[in-house]
Structure 1
């Protein structure tokens, strides 16, 4: 139980760090931890007419980040994002799936347009 709570806290801390990082890059955070029947979106962010549904992965080391995201996980994020698009994206908005990878003592790694489905 303790390991699960520690992982949950680490994930929430990573999402907070990712949100701060995106804000510093000019993004406005529209929502956090949005649940759908198809999966959860960690962050929904907007900059200009671009809406990004963002998957955040937090790992203990930067080496682990290389294996933090896979096609199966991204497909679930994409399905959830498709369900949520009408809520966050208006006419003329572009939409994409991004990933932000977080590890201690490392600058966040932002992978733009990570899902091309």
Structure 2
């Protein structure tokens, strides 16, 4: 289980506990949890580059949501535990889900997927 949270968000332990409860309710088991906090450090790319509070609610990567270092940690834990899936506390785009699944070697879901399952592209039934 993993989550990216802004440093301004103080309820991240509650959110992670809710996601863990949902995983357990659905028959899963949380083996390990990872939290990445997006802090308020200044812009490091140059004087005119926004940083800190301006980018605090943005993902570290549009491709993987979290930093590559954190994603590698999650992938290593998946391999060690032979994990069946990774659940993020965050919403994920299809692109993020696919990239993370490739890196982690198992299916990846966002918390919203647990509440409203991903529909198949061939599913013609109403939502």
- Whether TM exceeds 0.5 here: the answer is no
More strand by share: 1
**TM-score of the aligned structures, taking structure 2 as reference length:** 0.37
Structure whose alpha-carbon radius of gyration is higher: 2
Using the size of structure 1 for normalisation, the TM-score is 0.39
